[in-house]
Copies of this chain bind each other. A is one copy, B any other.
Amino acid sequence: MDKRPSKSKTKCCGEEVTLSLPHDASAEHLAKLTWAIAHPARVRIVQLLLSRTSCVCGEIVDHMPLAQSTVSQHLKILKESGLVQGEIDGPRICYCINKKMLKQLKRLVADL
């Protein structure tokens, strides 16, 4: 997105209003993190992972009204956001919240 000429608005008064907001990579970051939990199923998964002290795996599927493949996709999204980590534990995979990322998300939202 934002593939357009950027309209860099020097306007007139020499104030150099490059883009008004300070480039803000944090905006992108916040958007990415919030997007990860911007779906009821993913909120549920996060809550589930938090309620169980640490990791779970196929249990998640049992606790959701969704097909295994769908849950897997949601987990992938959560992993890509960094909010969730998956570690191999024998034949199954053990998911857990990345506390550091969660804290980051909380901070970013709190600082709004």
Contact = CB atoms under 8 A, between A and B. Distances in A.
A100 interface: no
Interface string A1-33: 110111111010000010111001001101100
17 contacts: A2-B40, A2-B41, A19-B63, A20-B48, A21-B47, A21-B48, A21-B63, A27-B43, A27-B44, A28-B43, A30-B43, A31-B38, A34-B43, A35-B35, A35-B39, A105-B109, A106-B110
Contacts of A46: 112
Classify chain A: how many residues form its interface, as a range: 35 or more
A38 to B, nearest CB: 4
Interface string A89-107: 0000000000000100110
A21 to B, nearest CB: 6
Contacts of A31: 37-40, 42-43
